[in-house]
Structures are given as structure tokens and as C-alpha cells.
Amino acid sequence: MNSIEQIETKFLELFQEQPLLVRSPGRVNIIGEHTDYNQGFVLPAAIEKSMYIAISSRTDTHCKIIAHDLQDEFEFDITALSRSEKGWPNYLMGVVDQLMKAGYGLRGFHCVFGGEIPVGAGMSSSAAIEAGLAYGLNVLFNLGIAKKELVRIAQRAENEFVGLQCGIMDMYANIFGMDGHVLKLDCRSVDHRYYPLDHTLSIVLLDTRVSHSLASSEYNKRRAECTEGVRLLQKKYPLVHSLRDATLGMLNELQAEIPSVVYKRCSYVVEENERVEEACRMLERSDYTKLGELLYASHEGLSKKYEVSCPELDYLVSTAKKLPEIYGARMMGGGFGGCTINLVKPEYVDTVTAVLKEEYYKKFDRNPFAYVTSTGSGTHVIEVKSNAAV
Ligand code: GLA
């Protein structure tokens, strides 16, 4: 885990010049899972845990990038990009690839990055790197790209270069996050509205420390199943362009023609969209008890209908359900591991965290990580205050 000072110091040591410093946050998602790529609603927030990206320009087309957390480095040329076996350079090269394809006037650059977002925990460290680099290169080379386009560039980088058909949520929350707020994103109109997050609600993440290698292929499979659902609905309802347009009534009417797995996936998505809208109403009323019930219902759907949970996540959520100090909990992110999000009464954060950790340890003989997190601002350039020696 690296701080901004460490990233800056490393950069100065290696390249002897002051870099542009970008802070790029992770995200949580209160509710609205697997709805983004179905043109539905999501309710994420940027968090204070961030990746830090230090960059400076070169005059040629060469790039040298250092992953400080991994103590690893990689070099490439922006005019000859090809996927790397190493994995991590693809998140950065994917962004360069998109900028080049769109014809932006890019040159080579130096980059050191690292940060506080645990990898594989479901807080979107990858989106933080992609969107953070897109943001930084936009400033560094004065490309004049609007924020929404940066979001799309980062998303396409992941879709095309990394190979995960992810939706827009993570990058959008990264760029548009606002301290003290969650944002309701309409993934069809690609517009958002902020909702203040009260200080009488704490967010605790419990990281199962499980990550399944099938996560990426299963994710892409879920997308395909949803597309199949839309195709079948269109036979009777041609105006259904995505599951956002579907209703449970339509699904039930055509149930005989829809394979049961596809029916389960689609009904989950339709219900989850409704839960997001309801959750926003509950946030406005500060009715956290009802909000919490929606989280539990979301988890149930993710586990039983969408089938993207795992025993570790299910156990953490069922344990949370027994604790009245927790309003609600559910798995967060793509699934198959990663963490649960727990909405907790602030005065009980320590107590419930200890109970959840202990119960998890007893069951799985492994210590989960716990993070008490709060909302933070979207990606931005950090003013240089450092006295680090060149
Ligand atoms: C991952 C993807 C997002 C979203 C979530 C599930 O985090 O990157 O686009 O689909 O899974 O809600």
C-alpha cells in the first residue's frame, strides 16, 4: 500500500522531474448490482481510498510505467501496443490504445502509480487506474476531453484491451464522485443525481479475501444471458431495447418461451432496478432500516437468481442479518468473492466488525479484512506541496 508521498518520491528519484499527480478513488456501490450494463440504475460513491498516478511527458512515443505496489515495471511504445502477459500493464495500455484510436495527439510518458485500494476486493482498483490515467493524460497533453468521454474511454479500455465486458458504473463513480454523497446514475441517459450520505450511517466493507478465477468469464456469461432475455422479449415487445424496459409482467407472460436460467437472471435485474429507485427514496427520508432491507433483498437476488455470490459472501451477509446494529448488507461488485458492504450504526462499527471477523474466521479459518470507509471526491489533480528532494 502506497501513499501519495511514496509515489511522488519514487517518481522524483527515477525521473528527476516534478510529475503531474492524480488522485483516483475506488468506489463502493450501495445498491444496483449488474444493472449498469442493462442500462439500469446504480447507486455508487467514490471513496477516500485512492490510487495515485504520477506522470510526466516525453518528446518521443516511448513509455515507461512503474507499478510501485508490485515493484514491477514495463515499457512500451504508444504506436505499437500489444497485450502483455503480465496483466497489469494492460489497464494502462488499454487507455493509451483508446486515445490513439480516437486520434488524440498523445506522446510517450513516464508513470509511477500505486495506492491504497486493495486489488481484488471489489473496490475497483482497475477502474481507478484506467480512469485516473485517462484523466491525467487529458491534463498532461491538454487533450480537451470532456469528463463523460473520459469515463467511456476508461470503460472501453477495460472492454477491449483487458477483456472484461464491464459496465460504466466504476469509471463513472471514479470521475463524478463527490465527497459526502452517493450518486444515482441512470446508465441509459448517462446522467446522475447526487444524494447526501448522512453521518449517521457508516459503511463497513468486509473483504472475504476470496477471488475466483471464473469471475471474468462468468461476468461475460451473465451479460450474454441478459442479452438473450432481451432478444426473447423483443419477439412480443419490440420496444424492449434492454432489461431497463422490461417488467416482471412481460417476463411472466413469456416465461414458457424463456429458458429458466435466463428468466431468473432477467427477473433479478428488473427487481434490482426497482430497488435502486426505492433506495433513493429511503435515502431522502433517512430511513436506513428500509434501506437496509433493500440491501438484504438485493443480496438474496444476487445469490439465488443471478448466482454471482459464493459461500463466503453468503455467510458474511447472513451473519450481518443477525446483528441489529447493521441496517443492511450485501455482496458488492461483480461477485464470486471480493467484499460485502454493510451499512452500520456508527457507534457500533467496532463491535460489529469484530463479530463479523470472528465469525468468519471460525467458519473459514481465514481472517477477512475490514475497511471502514467514507465517501470521497472524484478523480482530480493534486496540488504539489511536497518538498521531496529531486
Ligand atoms: C463490476 C463491473 C461493473 C458492474 C459490477 C456489477 O464491478 O466493473 O461495471 O457491472 O461489476 O454491478
In a domain, 138, yes or no: yes
Q: Which atom of ligand 1 is nearest to the CA of 124?
A: 7
For residues 121 and 219, membership in a common domain is answered with: no
Expressed in angstroms and rounded, the spacing between residue 334 Cα and the centre of ligand 1 is: 5
Q: Which atom of ligand 1 is nearest to the CA of 127?
A: 8
pLDDT at 40 over 90: yes
Q: Which atom of ligand 1 is nearest to the CA of 219?
A: 11
Neighbour tally for 34: CB within 10 Å: 26
Stretch 182-206: mean pLDDT? 95
pLDDT digits (tens, 9 = 90+) for 346-363: 999 999 999 999 999 999
Mean pLDDT (the chain, rounded): 95
Tell me, using a 6 A CB cutoff, whether residue 333 lines ligand 1. yes
pLDDT digits (tens, 9 = 90+) for 44-80: 999 999 999 999 999 999 999 999 999 999 999 999 9
For residues 101 and 206, membership in a common domain is answered with: no
Tell me, using a 6 A CB cutoff, whether residue 330 lines ligand 1. no
- pLDDT score recorded for residue 1: 66
In a domain, 387, yes or no: no
pLDDT at 384 over 80: no
Question: All 3 cell numbers of residue 259?
Answer: 429458458
Tell me, using a 6 A CB cutoff, whether residue 33 lines ligand 1. yes
Tell me, using a 6 A CB cutoff, whether residue 40 lines ligand 1. no
Expressed in angstroms and rounded, the spacing between residue 37 Cα and the centre of ligand 1 is: 8
For residues 186 and 235, membership in a common domain is answered with: no
Domain count, the chain: 2
For residues 121 and 249, membership in a common domain is answered with: no
Q: Which atom of ligand 1 is nearest to the CA of 33?
A: 12
For residues 185 and 314, membership in a common domain is answered with: no
For residues 52 and 37, membership in a common domain is answered with: yes
Stretch 178-200: mean pLDDT? 95
Tell me, using a 6 A CB cutoff, whether residue 338 lines ligand 1. no
pLDDT at 389 over 60: no
Which residue has the CA at smallest separation from atom 2 of ligand 1? 166
What is the C-alpha end-to-end distance of the chain, expressed in Å? 23
pLDDT digits (tens, 9 = 90+) for 74-102: 999 999 999 999 999 999 999 999 999 99
For residues 242 and 161, membership in a common domain is answered with: no
For residues 184 and 207, membership in a common domain is answered with: no
For residues 169 and 209, membership in a common domain is answered with: no
Tell me, using a 6 A CB cutoff, whether residue 130 lines ligand 1. no
pLDDT classification of 122: cutoffs 50, 70, 90? confident
Expressed in angstroms and rounded, the spacing between residue 42 Cα and the centre of ligand 1 is: 10
Which residue has the CA at smallest separation from atom 9 of ligand 1? 167
DSSP for 131-172 reads HHHHHHHHHHTT----HHHHHHHHHHIIIIII-----SHHHH
In a domain, 189, yes or no: yes
Question: All 3 cell numbers of residue 177?
Answer: 464522485
Whether the CB-CB separation of 326 and 292 falls below 8 Å is answered with yes
Expressed in angstroms and rounded, the spacing between residue 8 Cα and the centre of ligand 1 is: 31
For residues 256 and 316, membership in a common domain is answered with: yes
**What φ, ψ does residue 195 adopt, rounded to 5°?**
-125, 125
pLDDT digits (tens, 9 = 90+) for 251-295: 999 999 999 999 999 999 999 999 999 999 999 999 999 999 999
pLDDT digits (tens, 9 = 90+) for 204-241: 999 999 987 667 889 999 999 999 999 999 999 999 99
Which residue has the CA at smallest separation from atom 8 of ligand 1? 166
Percent of the chain past pLDDT 90, that is, above it, reads 92
Distance CA 40, CA 289 (A): 24
Q: Is 170 a catalytic residue?
A: yes
- pLDDT score recorded for residue 213: 67
User: If you ran DSSP here, which 8-state letter would residue 61 be given?
Assistant: S
CATH of the domain at 174: 3.30.230.10
For residues 124 and 215, membership in a common domain is answered with: no
pLDDT at 390 over 50: no
pLDDT classification of 189: cutoffs 50, 70, 90? very high
Structural domain that includes position 133: 3-196+376-382
Which residue has the CA at smallest separation from atom 11 of ligand 1? 334
For residues 145 and 215, membership in a common domain is answered with: no
Q: Which of 69, 97, 170, 245 is catalytic?
A: 170
Tell me, using a 6 A CB cutoff, whether residue 334 lines ligand 1. yes
pLDDT at 152 over 80: yes
Distance CA 338, CA 320 (A): 16
pLDDT at 119 over 90: no
In a domain, 389, yes or no: no
CATH of the domain at 358: 3.30.70.890
- pLDDT score recorded for residue 253: 97
Percent of the chain past pLDDT 70, that is, above it, reads 98
Neighbour tally for 238: CB within 10 Å: 8
Tell me, using a 6 A CB cutoff, whether residue 170 lines ligand 1. yes
